């Protein structure tokens, strides 16, 4: 029984062929496959390249694929789109293979729940909550765009930090080590010089998001302004989790909430703050940082579609160990 | 005694020649003259056109100009730049005329203070505070860019409203009439359709700023969410005014604060809210909406430079009455 799991993202796409025990037979990588940032031709080209490479590596196993589960960033917003992606994939895969396209949040969720329901909270450059319940109902909360939503994201943390730095510069806000940290980070001599760095050739969103680790570190070193930014972000993240939970589960349901994305990496304070907040409103949720490769969640999605309902709890560890370090 | 007053903005430039009594002799209009959005050649072309038109209308009066005061948006951030603008203007004006270039906030300030010190709070698409004291010291506060500053601006109000609409859509925030108002404004059927309208061909900043009147109206009609947005904006505006005041005046100095820009137009609630807040921290300030044409402030700037220290209090009304309706 061979399953093709695909994890498609804004920077790269990974495809692996594995069996129900988590043995990996073929692995391939391609460029970004978020359809929102590609033309239809470019999107097709990426999937064509990925599948051709997999077939080239082992055409016998490739020809025996039973199911393909692709968790793709940019998918899942409408059935019409997902059907289109499924059509594209079907063109490049063996006949009669079952092709399933879902949003990439499924990969992260399944990599930790082993195919069971739960909630994923992503906080990378952007942020969004996604949940799935026992009736296969899904909901999202947040992630409506960096300008007015996505609190808790790296962009949001960076933006709040810049706001605090300029407020202090004007005498409108308290002192913070963020001023020195951000001036040093951009290697400029004055706060006003920051404007030129932020509105440079790169999109401000990416430039500002890169500041998030400075705010996390400043908060952990006791800076009051940074700590307040972190607490506010946690409150917004918790609101997203709560609204997903409310629509999917009973209030006391012991739900696993998978935390994924750079903001959660190395931030014990952020994790502690979320745990503290959850005690009040969702005491039975379990917060856990994602640690398995998202593509292992895609394999689990494929296995689930084939009827494997009891999936070996060590499958993601086994897949992780076999993946090439890329 | 003839004075040339120029008001240069991001959308148009106005120049008038007046005397110390506020009699207007020549008036001309040209395109935008914000040097940040023009090439040096384009900038020079606008000022050349404006001055040539003034001279053409009355070369005798033009040749007798004693002083030119130009309040230009984009000026005032560095002496080096202002000197450059002065050089450009000097090329197109009669010899020995005194040329003074300042930020356009001076025009608004002087049009209400008649050349005396005070603070200007601008809240249009963007927002900024600007103050001038008796030692000719100037300070600014806010206005560091729409992404992370400029609270109280039309953009900021619109952005907060969208945030509230999406929060309510997700079940993260309270109901608000803003949802219906904004959906109707953009003529779409669903909240999620708003994203396409905001990230269309126009810059999101202008699209979002256009929502400000809806928020002001919703707040005045009793919408709690809109009222909270207005109160928060007022608090941020007051922080800007306070930080300017602190650097320029004694705490109990009876300072005139001139309010200018579309956000203040037709918003009695916003004005009341600011008055309420000022009672606690700056009880002696007087808040007044700008009503005179900014170019009249430029004339006053010119008269002040010529040594007129006691300027007729009806000068701006007289100038206003003589200006062409454009």
Burial of B274 (0-12, 13-18, 19+ CB in 10 A): buried
Predicted local distance difference test score (pLDDT) of residue A83: 80
Q: How many CB atoms lie within 10 A of CB A159?
A: 26
Any idea what DSSP says for residue B171? T
Q: Say whether both B65 and B51 belong to one domain.
A: yes
The whole-angstrom distance between A184's CA and the closest CA on chain B is: 19
Nearest to B148 among A159, A239, A242 (CB): A159
**Closest-approach residue (CA) in chain A for B247:** A171
Arithmetic mean of pLDDT, B306-312: 90
Q: Which residues are B27's β-sheet partners?
A: B16
CB contact under 8 A, A172 and B142: yes
Q: Say whether both A230 and A181 belong to one domain.
A: yes
Share of chain A above pLDDT 70, in %: 98
> Sign (positive/negative) of CA torsion A146, A152, A155, A157?
positive
> Sign (positive/negative) of CA torsion B195, B201, B205, B210?
negative
Q: Say whether both B134 and B228 belong to one domain.
A: yes
pLDDT digits (tens, 9 = 90+) for B148-200: 999 899 999 999 999 999 999 999 999 999 999 999 999 999 999 999 899 88
- Only one residue has tokens 């800076």, namely A223
Predicted local distance difference test score (pLDDT) of residue A3: 98
Q: Name every chain A residue with its beta carbon within 8 A of the beta carbon of B199.
A: 145
Pairing label, strands B138-141, A98-103 = unpaired
**φ, ψ dihedrals at A38, nearest 5°:** -125, 155
Q: How many CB atoms lie within 10 A of CB A79?
A: 8
Mean pLDDT for all residues in chain A: 93
Residue A90 lies in a domain: yes
The whole-angstrom distance between B119's CA and the closest CA on chain A is: 15
Instruction: List % helix, strand, coil for chain B (3-state, nearest 5).
Output: 50, 20, 35
Range of weakest confidence among B46-50, B165-169, B322-326: B322-326
Q: Which two tokens stand for residue B100?
A: 């003074």
Residue B252 lies in a domain: yes
Q: Say whether both A157 and A214 belong to one domain.
A: yes
CB contact under 8 A, A167 and B239: yes
Q: Name every chain B residue with its beta carbon within 8 A of the beta carbon of A240.
A: 170, 172
Please report, for the domain that includes residue A78, its CATH number: 3.30.420.40
Q: Say whether both A126 and A230 belong to one domain.
A: yes
Q: Say whether both B146 and B256 belong to one domain.
A: yes
CB contact under 8 A, A147 and B198: yes
Q: Name every chain B residue with its beta carbon within 8 A of the beta carbon of A147.
A: 147, 159, 162, 198, 204, 208
Q: Say whether both B151 and B264 belong to one domain.
A: yes
Arithmetic mean of pLDDT, B82-92: 89
Predicted local distance difference test score (pLDDT) of residue B75: 81
Q: Say whether both A39 and A164 belong to one domain.
A: no
Burial of A251 (0-12, 13-18, 19+ CB in 10 A): exposed
Q: Name every chain B residue with its beta carbon within 8 A of the beta carbon of A239.
A: 167, 172-173
pLDDT band of A52, cuts 50, 70, 90: very high
Q: How far apart are alpha carbons B215 and B182 in whole angstroms?
A: 9
Q: Say whether both A144 and A266 belong to one domain.
A: yes
pLDDT band of B78, cuts 50, 70, 90: low
Burial of B116 (0-12, 13-18, 19+ CB in 10 A): middle
Arithmetic mean of pLDDT, A74-95: 81
Asked if residue B44 lies in contact with residue B25, where contact means CB atoms within 8 angstroms, the answer is no
- Cα→Cα distances A10→A152, B196, B229, Å: 19, 20, 34
Residues of chain A contacting B, Cβ within 8 Å: 140-142, 144-145, 147-149, 159-160, 162-163, 166-167, 170-173, 195, 198-199, 204, 208, 239-240, 242-243, 246-247
| Calculated CA dihedral for residues A20, A21, A23, A29, nearest 10 degrees | 50
The whole-angstrom distance between B139's CA and the closest CA on chain A is: 9
Q: How far apart are alpha carbons A218 and A229 in whole angstroms?
A: 10
The count of structural domains within chain B is 2
Indicate which of A139, A142, A148, A179 best probes the interface with B, i.e. most B CBs within 10 Å of its own CB.
A148
**φ, ψ dihedrals at A261, nearest 5°:** 115, 160
pLDDT digits (tens, 9 = 90+) for B5-21: 999 988 899 999 999 99
Arithmetic mean of pLDDT, B247-274: 93
CB contact under 8 A, B239 and A140: no
Predicted local distance difference test score (pLDDT) of residue B79: 53
Q: Say whether both B14 and B83 belong to one domain.
A: yes
Residue A201 lies in a domain: yes
pLDDT band of A36, cuts 50, 70, 90: confident
Nearest to A141 among B148, B170, B239 (CB): B170
CB contact under 8 A, A148 and B160: yes
CB contact under 8 A, B199 and A145: yes
- Cα→Cα distances B153→A295, B121, B210, B231, B245, Å: 45, 10, 11, 13, 20
CB contact under 8 A, B195 and A145: yes
Indicate which of B147, B163, B211 best probes the interface with A, i.e. most A CBs within 10 Å of its own CB.
B147
pLDDT band of A187, cuts 50, 70, 90: very high
**φ, ψ dihedrals at B252, nearest 5°:** -100, 15
Predicted local distance difference test score (pLDDT) of residue B235: 97
ipTM entry: 0.89
Which residues have C-beta within 8 Å of that of residue B75, sequence separation ≥ 6?
B8, B35, B81, B82, B85, B101, B102, B103, B104
Predicted local distance difference test score (pLDDT) of residue B310: 85
pLDDT digits (tens, 9 = 90+) for A276-304: 999 999 999 999 999 999 999 999 999 99
Nearest to A195 among B142, B144, B246 (CB): B144
Q: What is the CA radius of gyration of chain B?
A: 21
Mean pLDDT for all residues in chain B: 93
CB contact under 8 A, A140 and B195: no
Asked if residue A44 lies in contact with residue A35, where contact means CB atoms within 8 angstroms, the answer is no
Residue B80 CA to chain centroid, in angstroms?
23
Asked if residue A143 lies in contact with residue A120, where contact means CB atoms within 8 angstroms, the answer is no
Which residues have C-beta within 8 Å of that of residue A201, sequence separation ≥ 6?
none
Arithmetic mean of pLDDT, B247-264: 96
Q: How far apart are alpha carbons A265 and A217 in whole angstroms?
A: 11
At A31 the three-state DSSP class reads coil
Q: Name every chain A residue with its beta carbon within 8 A of the beta carbon of B149.
A: 162-163, 166
Nearest to A144 among B166, B239, B242 (CB): B166
Q: How far apart are alpha carbons A29 and A57 in whole angstroms?
A: 12
Arithmetic mean of pLDDT, B210-238: 97
Arithmetic mean of pLDDT, B209-235: 97
Arithmetic mean of pLDDT, B65-79: 84
Residue A130 CA to chain centroid, in angstroms?
10
Predicted local distance difference test score (pLDDT) of residue B81: 67
Domain that includes residue B80, residue range = 2-103+292-322
Residue A121 lies in a domain: yes
Residue B108 lies in a domain: no
Range of weakest confidence among A218-227, A237-246, B118-127, B198-207: B198-207
Predicted local distance difference test score (pLDDT) of residue A37: 78
Residue A194 lies in a domain: yes
Arithmetic mean of pLDDT, A143-157: 93
Q: Name every chain A residue with its beta carbon within 8 A of the beta carbon of B195.
A: 144-145
Asked if residue A154 lies in contact with residue A262, where contact means CB atoms within 8 angstroms, the answer is yes
Arithmetic mean of pLDDT, A233-261: 97
Q: Which two tokens stand for residue B295?
A: 């170019």
Predicted local distance difference test score (pLDDT) of residue A26: 97
**Closest-approach residue (CA) in chain B for A237:** B172
SS (HEC) of B75-137: CCCCHHHHHHHHHHHHHCCCCCCEEEEEECHHHHHHHHHCCCCEEEEEECCCEEEEEECCCCC
Q: How many CB atoms lie within 10 A of CB B11?
A: 9
Q: Say whether both A134 and A280 belong to one domain.
A: yes
Residue A166 lies in a domain: yes
Residue A83 lies in a domain: yes
Predicted local distance difference test score (pLDDT) of residue A199: 85
Q: Say whether both A267 and A311 belong to one domain.
A: no
């Amino acid at each position: 029984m061979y399953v093709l799991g695909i994890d498609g993202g804004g920077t790269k796409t990974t495809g692996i062929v594995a069996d129900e025990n988590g043995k990996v037979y073929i692995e391939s990588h391609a460029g970004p496959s978020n359809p929102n940032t590609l033309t239809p031709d470019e999107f097709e080209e990426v999937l064509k390249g990925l599948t051709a490479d997999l077939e080239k590596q082992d055409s016998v196993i490739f020809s025996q694929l039973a199911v393909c589960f692709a968790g793709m960033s940019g998918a899942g917003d409408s059935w019409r789109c997902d059907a289109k992606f499924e059509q594209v994939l079907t063109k490049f895969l063996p006949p009669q293979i079952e092709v399933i396209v879902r949003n990439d949040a499924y990969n992260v969720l399944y990599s930790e729940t082993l195919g069971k329901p739960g909630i994923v909270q992503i906080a990378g450059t952007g942020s969004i909550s996604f949940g799935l319940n026992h009736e296969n109902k899904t909901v999202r909360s947040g992630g409506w765009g960096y300008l007015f939503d996505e609190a808790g994201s790296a962009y949001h943390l960076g933006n709040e930090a810049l706001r605090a730095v300029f407020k202090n510069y004007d005498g409108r806000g308290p002192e913070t080590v963020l001023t020195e940290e951000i001036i040093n980070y951009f290697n400029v001599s004055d706060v006003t010089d920051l404007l030129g760095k932020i509105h440079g050739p790169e999109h401000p969103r990416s430039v500002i998001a890169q500041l998030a680790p400075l705010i996390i570190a400043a908060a952990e070193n006791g800076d009051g302004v940074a700590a307040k930014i972190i607490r506010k972000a946690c409150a917004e993240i918790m609101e997203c989790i709560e609204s997903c939970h409310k629509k999917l589960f009973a209030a006391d349901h012991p739900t696993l909430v998978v935390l994924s994305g750079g903001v959660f990496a190395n931030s014990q304070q952020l994790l502690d703050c979320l745990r503290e907040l959850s005690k009040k409103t969702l005491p039975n949720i379990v917060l856990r940082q994602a640690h398995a490769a998202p593509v292992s969640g895609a394999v689990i999605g494929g296995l689930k579609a084939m009827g494997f309902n009891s999936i070996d709890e060590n499958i993601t560890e086994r897949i992780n160990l076999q993946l090439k370090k890329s």
